[in-house]
Amino acid sequence: MKTLFVSIIFIFFCSYALRAQDAMSTTEQIIADIFEKFTAESDETIDYESFYDDLMFCAENPINLNQANGDGLGKLQFLSEIQIENILSYIYEFGAMQTIYELQLVEGLDMTDIRRMLPFVRLGESDNPKGKIYWNDLLKYGKNEFLFRLDKGLETKEGYRFTPNEDVNVPTLNSKLYLGNELYNSLKYRFHYKDRIQVGFSGEKDAGEQFWGATNKGYDFYSFHAQLNNFGKFRTIVLGDFRANFGQGLVLHPEFGMGKSSYVLNVTPRSSGLKRYSSTDEYNFFRGGGVTLKLGKFDVSAFYSNKMIDGDTVNGTFSTIIKTGYHRTLDEFSKKSSVNQQIVGGNVTYTNMNLQVGFTAVHTELNNNLIPDKSVYNYFYFSGKKQTTGGVFYRYRWNKLNLFGETAMTDNGSVATLNGCYFSPVSQVSLVVLHRYYSPEYDTFYASSFSETSRINNESGLYIGAEVRPFRKWKLSAYADSYRFLWPKYGIDAPSVGNDYLFQADFTAKRNLTMYWRFKYEDKQTNLSTTGVVMPVVVPLQKSSLRYQLTYSYLNFSFKNVLEVNLSKQSSDNWTYGVIASQDISYAFPRIPLKMDIRFQFFDAQNYENRFYSYERDVLYAFSIPMYYGLGSRYYLNVQYDLNKHLSLWFKIAQTVYSDDRELLSSGNETISGNRKTDIRLLVKYDF
pLDDT at site 396 = 92
Per the model's pLDDT, the better-predicted residue between 87 and 201 turns out to be 201
Q: Are 309 and 252 in contact (CB under 8 A)?
A: no
Among the listed ranges 32-46, 486-500, 524-538, which one has the minimum average pLDDT value? Answer: 32-46
Residue 586 maps to a domain:
yes
- CB burial of 196-216 (b: ≥16 within 10 Å; e: otherwise) equals bbbbbbbbbbbbbbbbeeebb
DSSP at 492: B
Measure CA of the first residue to CA of the last residue in the chain; give whole Å.
52
Q: How many CB atoms are closer than 10 A to CB 630?
A: 21
| Tens-digit pLDDT profile for residues 63-87 | 888 887 777 788 888 888 888 888 8
- Model confidence at 98, pLDDT cuts 50, 70, 90, reads confident
- Quick one: average pLDDT of 282-297? 94
CA distance 376 to 487: 9
CA distance 34 to 80: 13
- Quick one: average pLDDT of 10-32? 48
| Tens-digit pLDDT profile for residues 624-672 | 888 898 999 999 999 999 999 899 999 999 999 999 888 899 888 999 9
CA distance 303 to 193: 24
Residue 369 maps to a domain:
no
- Quick one: average pLDDT of 344-357? 92
> Does the pLDDT of residue 134 top 90, yes or no?
no
CA distance 216 to 336: 11
Q: How many CB atoms are closer than 10 A to CB 81?
A: 23
- Quick one: average pLDDT of 23-31? 64
pLDDT at site 256 = 65
Among the listed ranges 94-98, 458-462, 680-684, which one has the minimum average pLDDT value? Answer: 94-98
- Quick one: average pLDDT of 329-348? 94
Q: Are 243 and 277 in contact (CB under 8 A)?
A: yes
Residue 616 maps to a domain:
yes
Mapped onto helix, strand or coil, the DSSP state of residue 533 is: coil
Phi/psi of residue 115, nearest 5 degrees: -65, -35
What is the number of residues in the chain? 688
Question: Among residues 47, 77, 43, 38, which one has the least CA distance to residue 613?
Answer: 43
CA distance 677 to 665: 8
Degrees, nearest 5: CA angle 110-111-117: 95
Question: Among residues 599, 626, 614, which one has the least CA distance to residue 11?
Answer: 599
Q: What are the strands, taking DSSP E only, across 95-154?
A: 121-122, 143-153
- Quick one: average pLDDT of 241-250? 93
Mapped onto helix, strand or coil, the DSSP state of residue 424 is: strand
* Total structural domains within the chain: 1
> Does the pLDDT of residue 399 top 90, yes or no?
no
Mapped onto helix, strand or coil, the DSSP state of residue 331 is: helix
- Model confidence at 41, pLDDT cuts 50, 70, 90, reads low
Highest-confidence range of 28-42, 154-168, 259-273, 493-507, by mean pLDDT? 493-507
Dihedral angle computed from the Cα positions of residues 667, 668, 672 and 678, in that order, rounded to the nearest 10 degrees: -80
CA distance 405 to 450: 11
3-state secondary structure 496-524: EEEEEEEEEEEEEEECCEEEEEEEEEEEE
> Does the pLDDT of residue 550 top 80, yes or no?
yes
Which residues are within 8 A (CB) of 579 and not within 5 positions of it... i.e. 6 or more apart?
4, 8, 564, 565, 602, 603, 604, 605
Question: Among residues 278, 329, 339, 348, which one has the least CA distance to residue 309?
Answer: 339
- Model confidence at 50, pLDDT cuts 50, 70, 90, reads confident
Residue 600 maps to a domain:
yes
Q: Are 274 and 254 in contact (CB under 8 A)?
A: no
Q: Are 348 and 321 in contact (CB under 8 A)?
A: no
- Quick one: average pLDDT of 481-501? 92
CA distance 351 to 684: 43
CA distance 59 to 53: 10
- Model confidence at 129, pLDDT cuts 50, 70, 90, reads low
pLDDT at site 445 = 92
Q: Are 256 and 270 in contact (CB under 8 A)?
A: no
Helix 27-39 vs helix 48-60: crossing angle, to nearest 10: 140
Alpha-carbon separation of residue 198 from 138, 195, 250, 507 (angstroms) = 11, 7, 28, 40
pLDDT at site 45 = 57
> Does the pLDDT of residue 379 top 50, yes or no?
yes
pLDDT at site 677 = 95
What range does the domain containing 526 cover?
A: 1-23+512-642
Q: Are 597 and 586 in contact (CB under 8 A)?
A: yes
Question: Among residues 227, 141, 198, 195, which one has the least CA distance to residue 688?
Answer: 141
Radius of gyration of the chain (CA): 26
Residue 637 maps to a domain:
yes
> Does the pLDDT of residue 433 top 60, yes or no?
yes
> Does the pLDDT of residue 222 top 80, yes or no?
yes
Per the model's pLDDT, the better-predicted residue between 554 and 132 turns out to be 554
Among the listed ranges 321-325, 438-442, 571-575, 598-602, which one has the minimum average pLDDT value? Answer: 571-575
Q: What's the whole-model pTM score?
A: 0.87
Residue 419 maps to a domain:
no
Tell me the HSE value of 459 on the side-chain side, using a 13 A CA sphere: 24
> Does the pLDDT of residue 136 top 90, yes or no?
no
Among the listed ranges 130-134, 135-139, 422-426, 538-542, which one has the minimum average pLDDT value? Answer: 130-134
What are all long-range contacts of 420-423, with beta carbons under 8 Å and residues at least 24 apart? Answer: 420/267, 420/268, 420/463, 422/80, 422/81, 422/82, 422/85, 422/265
